[in-house]
Structure 1
Amino acid sequence: MKRKYSTPKYLKIALDIAYRIHNDDLKEGSKVSGRSTLGSNYNVSPETIRRSIALLKDMNVVKVTEKSGILILSKKQAYQFIQNFKMKDSILKLKEETDNLILQKKSIEENIEENIKSIIEYSSQFRSIGLIHTFELKISEDSPIIGDTIAGTRFWQNTKATILGIKRNNELIISPGPHLDFRENDIILFVGADGVLKSVENFINA
């Protein structure tokens, strides 16, 4: 499920007031309606208006006094408030997009793992009917690839074999990343076309 960022009501109202000040609908030195009236105008509670005005007050856009109410202080600060929001909004939208991409990546990785598990589980059956060739090879103690990574050895480029997993100490590492290092006694599970078994065998025991 995608995560959706939405601007809170009190911030939308603060922005609307800031834009009105910036556009000279509300003049510097003038007063605006009290919180209750603003609440009615925007159809929100007085508490929401209080939070909106507090944001503008913190940026010195308005001044709030008990007797005088809400006084417009600065058109310049209203513009700055708008720019600050735009920057923050852009960052939040980028974060939202990144979070969604991470969720998609996680979902894809989970699907890949499930598929690889299925391939491993049914490998003997697939091999017998010629749909796919799956193999296992153990890395010997004198193998030249020990200590190097999958990417560092250029495993696929040198063997044309795709690694499905690595069996290590009774644990199966599904779909290992390019930075996983090979270790003695690792068992490599891989797939490939005819001749790939000999190719991998020669490569890891060169």
Structure 2
Amino acid sequence: MAEEIKTKTAIPRYQQIAVEVAARIANGEYIEGEKIYARSSLASQYSVSPETARRAICILSDLGIVTSEKGNGIIIRSQKKASEYIQQNGKRQTIDTIKENLLKSVSRQKQEMETLNDCLKDLIEASVHFRSMNPFMPFEIRITPDCVYLNKTVTEIQFWQRTGATVIGVSRNNTLMKSPGPYVALSENDTIYFVTQDDTLDRVKEFLYPSK
């Protein structure tokens, strides 16, 4: 079974916190100039480590959304920049979703191709085994107007001598003639049944319908 492709990319927790705080600023829950919780309070509110809270604050500070001064907490600076950050993050999430769906589709197609290849392999092996168990299983070929020996008898065209195949039946007008003998002629719309020594159909096809 093919190894499953990992398509889900988790967003770091500090980025999630930065987005959530920016969303609250963009929605007017916090106003510009307002002082909100300190880093330790932010870590406690979101149940994360102080380092995770610090990284979230750094993102917002770098974008000019807030300022953070030691001992002075976090101060809101720009609702507009918070809104812009939320919009950019939404576009990024859309791209990530498209990428994830694309990778999932590629994974499914890969698995389907592997399943198809396994089925074809099983079919070939089963066919070879079946023919080995039934050495006299006949081949068949349809006689069309393109046949170069149309209306010629098996003897006239030296069918056995030139192909190594023996005609064992001819189906004509919904009637099957078994062991038709060497003097049966190849008529249009006939179906010829034959057995070969090497179990190959190619030689007979090339004989009746030579490549140009």
State the TM-score, normalized to the length of structure 2.
0.58
Where do 5+ consecutive residues of structure 2 fail to align? 140-190, 193-200
For these two proteins, the number of residue pairs brought into alignment is: 144
**Residue deviations 1:9-40 (CA, integer Å, cap 9, x gap):** 22221111111111111111111111101111
Partner of 2:80: 76
Residue 113, structure 1, aligned to residue 117, structure 2: yes
Residue 65 of structure 1 and its aligned partner are, at CA, apart by 2.1
Residue 46 of structure 1 and its aligned partner are, at CA, apart by 0.9
Distance 1:51 1:24, change over 3 A: same
Equivalent residue runs for 1:121-160 within 5 Å: 121-126=125-130, 128=134
Assess if the C-alpha contact under 8 Å between 1:28 and 1:72 holds in 2: yes
**Separation of aligned partners in 1, 2:211 and 2:93:** 56
Assess if the C-alpha contact under 8 Å between 2:38 and 2:72 holds in 1: no
**Separation of aligned partners in 2, 1:57 and 1:204:** 80
Residue 8 of structure 1 and its aligned partner are, at CA, apart by 2.7
Residue 205, structure 1, aligned to residue 211, structure 2: yes
Q: Secondary structure at the match of 2:74?
A: strand
Equivalent of 1:90 in 88, 94, 101: 94
Equivalent residue runs for 1:1-206 within 5 Å: 1=4, 3-126=7-130, 128=134, 205-206=211-212
Q: Secondary structure at the match of 1:63?
A: strand
**Separation of aligned partners in 2, 1:53 and 1:204:** 79
Partner of 1:148: none
Identical positions, percent: 35
**Separation of aligned partners in 2, 1:16 and 1:100:** 28
Which stretches of structure 1, 4 residues or longer, exceed 4 Å deviation after superposition? 126-129, 200-204
**Separation of aligned partners in 1, 2:97 and 2:105:** 12
Residue 203 of structure 1 and its aligned partner are, at CA, apart by 8.7
Q: Secondary structure at the match of 1:25?
A: coil
Q: Secondary structure at the match of 1:70?
A: strand
**Separation of aligned partners in 2, 1:16 and 1:109:** 42
Q: Secondary structure at the match of 2:68?
A: strand
**Cα RMSD, aligned residues only:** 3.1
Q: Secondary structure at the match of 1:29?
A: coil
Residue 69 of structure 1 and its aligned partner are, at CA, apart by 2.8
Q: Which amino acid aligns with 2:124?
A: I
**Residue deviations 1:62-97 (CA, integer Å, cap 9, x gap):** 112224332211000000110111011111111111
**Separation of aligned partners in 2, 1:203 and 1:75:** 80
Q: Secondary structure at the match of 1:24?
A: coil
Where do 5+ consecutive residues of structure 1 fail to align? 134-193
Partner of 1:184: none
Q: Secondary structure at the match of 1:122?
A: helix
Assess if the C-alpha contact under 8 Å between 1:5 and 1:93 holds in 2: no
Q: Which amino acid aligns with 1:74?
A: S
